[in-house]
Amino acid sequence: MKDYKILFTGSVCSGKTTAIRSLSDIETLDTDASASDVTVRRKKNTTIAMDYGVLELTSDARVHLYGTPGQERFRFMWEMLACEFAHDAIGMVLMVDNTRKDPFRDIRFYAKEFSDYLLKRRLIIAVTHSDVEPSPDYQEYLSALKNLGIMTTVMFIDARDPRAVLGIVEELISAVERNIDWDSVCDRLLDNNGFTLDFYKPLYEETLLDAAMNKRGVLGAMHLGDEQEILCSNIDDKPTKNLMRNIDRLTDAISDKAGFLGKVNNVVLAGPDVQTLSVFNDKSQSLCLCSDRDISLPVLKQQASDLLQWSIENDYLA
């Protein structure tokens, strides 16, 4: 039996679990748990360890499908999958959610995180949710990848559709397995797994402000636009609001005066009291948080970054 392996990675809600489920001939192994962080505004459950499925190609060839958790706090699982379970994978599929504010940032991040892994493996970039947000389009991805020095294949797919995800597998496997009847494999998957738009339903029920407050220890939140205007806030104290806006201005001032630091996009103030003030800047918007000092700042930063990546105009309450 010839065994091939493919590793799927990407941000939360990019479709990794769905893609593996749509292909697997076995009941997939997943380690979903109820979301307790910013992902709750997009999905009820999130992968905390790994996804696993198996796709039979012929009587003597099969593909093992591994999926990483999306959150950076589970990085130890990325390392375990890359170094142990999928160390001999034929390629990696980077799933990119096109509804993110800057999907190219996700590509830069994951390409860097898995740079050593990709030295000896082929990379496929699979863009999802383009039916919800059509921009960036295919040509914009090619241009961005060229600027990043990444030469690879870009495919726009619906992770719920076995035909679309199977195209990725065919792209990776065809070079080494030339006797596969891909049409028959596709027909079998459609018969067994089907294709329904209800297979994967992202949730958009919570506003950015609600999602920020969902994080344990966050005492207040404020969303600022590019002119420091308040888009929405549940911080009632006027001095605190003004201080947050001044801190946001400070990020630009520090970047200008201390160029050796690079672009400063977050400032944290922690005094002797129990409350911490944090401002996270992302291009034309900022998220300001009042939080308990017991919260891990790296975790808080990741949560804020993901919130800003998914913020949309409909979130604005004021």
3-state helix, strand, coil in the chain (%, to 5): 40, 25, 35
Give start and end residues of each alpha helix (H) in 258-314.
297-310
CA terminus-to-terminus distance, the chain: 61
Pair 157, 212 in one domain: no
The CB density around residue 264, as the number of other CB atoms within 10 Å, is 16
Per DSSP, the three-state class of 287 is strand
Owning domain of residue 266: 208-315
Give start and end residues of each alpha helix (H) in 24-149.
75-80, 103-113, 115-118, 138-148
Pair 167, 244 in one domain: no
Pair 35, 133 in one domain: yes
Specify the residue for token string 């195209």: 167
199 inside domain: no
pLDDT of residue 207: 65
Pair 151, 37 in one domain: yes
**Total count of domains within the chain:** 2
Pair 187, 126 in one domain: yes
Pair 145, 216 in one domain: no
Mark which of 141, 167, 193 sits at the end of a domain.
193
Q: What is the DSSP code (8-state) at residue 27?
A: P
Q: How far apart are CA 157 and CA 155, in angstroms?
A: 6
Q: Specify the pTM.
A: 0.67
Per DSSP, the three-state class of 72 is helix
Pair 167, 255 in one domain: no
> pLDDT tens digits, the chain, 318 residues: what are they?
899 999 999 988 889 989 999 999 998 876 544 434 444 444 444 444 688 999 999 999 999 999 998 666 677 888 888 888 989 999 999 999 998 888 999 999 999 999 999 999 999 999 999 988 899 999 999 999 999 999 999 999 999 999 999 999 999 999 888 889 999 999 999 998 877 654 444 434 456 777 777 777 788 889 888 788 888 888 888 888 888 888 888 887 887 777 777 778 888 888 776 678 888 887 778 888 888 877 777 777 777 877 777 665 434 333
Pair 276, 181 in one domain: no
pLDDT of residue 20: 93
Pair 243, 179 in one domain: no
